[in-house]
């Protein structure tokens, strides 16, 4: 493991950019960016267009290691190049730490939750991640209701796969998202915290993980997780909140930093001039950085 990158993620000031929209969410991400579905005629062209979008974001002067600690990539992005370098190497040269989304999407809802679909090629993906100089991984489940057995199952699955990721000397980001529209979100978060703590307390001293969680309903509800010796960092997803709302909620939580996707790129558009694009990017980066670093 790269100890310089580990120290940056653990102790650096800033946030993590999530640029890992996968096949299912790519058409909407492109449409929001001003590239309608009739602008490409097949999946290959779609992924070419989304790589152009990500390249424009990553090469923007506003996409800067002073404020961005790391970036979560989609698997295709890891395998593609930016300015003649593999994406992770390009990011590392910018002093931004690369992560890889490894899950294959969500299973159907059961017991109030959506587990991850099986990841049949996980070992091969992790081997390739090592080859491509990836630092860590990310995988997402979703909790819709405060169902004890459902939440237990989500956390068990996350940590079971995290152990396999740790075997490849990668740092897993465990992401059991609580749906922000859930009627009993706060109760779900309490159950989730307790289940995560059980697993954290069973990790050995050389097993370190990250957590990516919905911004809690009750401010500082995840303080115990943030301070846990086995947790490198706790980052927050925007989860459908607008950037302004997500930033305001984030400011209430000491030690919690952003890992936003839509809230980061919402104002970007393919038709903007470079100056307009970079200004929009800078505005978003500055606001999210401020919310991650300056707390109430």
Annotated catalytic residue, options 101, 138, 212, 251: 212
Distance from chain centroid for Cα 105: 14
Kindly list the distances between the CA atom of residue 167 and the CA atoms of 126, 138, 160, 164, 172, in Å, as whole numbers in the listed order.
Answer: 10, 15, 11, 5, 10
Q: 252 catalytic, yes or no?
A: no
Which phi and psi (to 5°) does residue 116 adopt? -80, 145
CA gap 263, 244 in Å, rounded: 8
Distance from chain centroid for Cα 173: 8
Q: Within 13 Å, how many C-alpha atoms sit on residue 154's CB side?
A: 36
Q: 175 catalytic, yes or no?
A: yes
Q: Among the residues of the chain, which ranges form H helices? A: 3-11, 26-32, 43-59, 75-79, 87-93, 122-131, 148-166, 185-200, 223-226, 243-251, 262-265, 274-293
Annotated catalytic residue, options 8, 75, 145, 175: 175
Active site residues: 175, 212
């Amino acid at each position: 493991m790269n100890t310089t990158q580990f120290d940056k993620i653990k102790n650096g000031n800033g946030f993590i950019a999530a640029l890992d929209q996968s096949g299912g969410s790519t058409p909407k991400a492109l449409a929001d960016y001003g590239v309608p579905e009739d602008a490409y005629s097949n999946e290959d062209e779609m992924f070419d267009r989304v790589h152009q979008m990500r390249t424009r974001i990553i090469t923007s002067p506003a996409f800067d290691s002073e404020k961005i600690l790391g970036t979560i990539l989609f698997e295709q992005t890891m395998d593609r190049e930016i300015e003649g370098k593999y994406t992770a190497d390009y990011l590392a040269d910018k002093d931004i730490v690369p992560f890889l989304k490894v899950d294959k999407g969500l299973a159907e809802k059961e017991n109030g939750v959506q587990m991850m679909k099986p990841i049949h090629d996980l070992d091969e993906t992790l081997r390739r991640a090592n080859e491509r100089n990836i630092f860590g991984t990310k995988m997402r489940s979703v909790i819709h209701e405060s169902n004890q057995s459902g939440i237990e199952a989500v956390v068990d699955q996350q940590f079971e796969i995290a152990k396999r990721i740790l075997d490849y000397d990668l740092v897993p980001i465990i992401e059991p998202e609580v749906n922000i529209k859930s009627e009993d979100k706060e109760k779900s978060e309490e159950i989730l915290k307790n289940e995560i703590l059980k697993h954290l307390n069973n990790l050995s001293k050389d097993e370190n993980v990250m957590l990516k969680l919905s911004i809690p309903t009750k401010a500082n509800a995840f303080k115990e997780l943030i301070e846990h010796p086995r947790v490198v960092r706790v980052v927050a997803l925007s989860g459908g909140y607008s950037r302004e709302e997500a930033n305001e909620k984030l400011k209430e939580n000491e030690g919690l930093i952003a890992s936003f996707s839509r809230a980061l790129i919402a104002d970007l558009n393919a038709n903007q001039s470079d100056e307009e694009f970079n200004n929009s990017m800078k505005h978003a980066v500055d606001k999210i950085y401020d919310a991650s670093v300056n707390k109430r």
